[in-house]
Amino acid sequence: MKLRKTVQRMLRMRPLAWYIFIRSLQLSCALLFGAILLLLRWDGDMQRYYTLYMTALALNETAQSVLLLGVLLPVVVEDLQS
């Protein structure tokens, strides 16, 4: 029941809030895809490809923070425009 109310409220968001949410979701997916590609190239060799591993971890953390901001900012936009 609570999930249904949440979805209904999300569907009534303003265009700017939707834009922020969708773009942050797209950016997070792109960053995670890049991290996966780097981890595939890393191939478990810590001696030679340590920088690839650390870059993949950084991309993963960045994607999480972008997604968090992409969820919080539309709420702020909705509250300011209401």
User: pLDDT at position 73, please?
Assistant: 93
Residue 53 lies in a domain: yes
User: pLDDT at position 78, please?
Assistant: 86
Q: Where in the sequence is the domain holding 60, given as residue range(s)?
A: 32-76
Q: How many CB atoms lie within 10 A of CB 62?
A: 16
Tally the domains of the chain: 1
Question: CA 28, CA 8: separation in Å to the nearest integer?
Answer: 24
Residue 24 lies in a domain: no
pLDDT of 10 higher than 90: no
- pTM of the predicted model as reported, rounded to 2 decimal places: 0.82
Q: How confident is the prediction for the chain on average, in pLDDT?
A: 90
The structure tokens listed for 14 are 């303003």
Residue 57 lies in a domain: yes
Contacts of 69 (CB under 8 A, 6+ apart): 24
Taking residues 28-36, what's their average pLDDT? 96
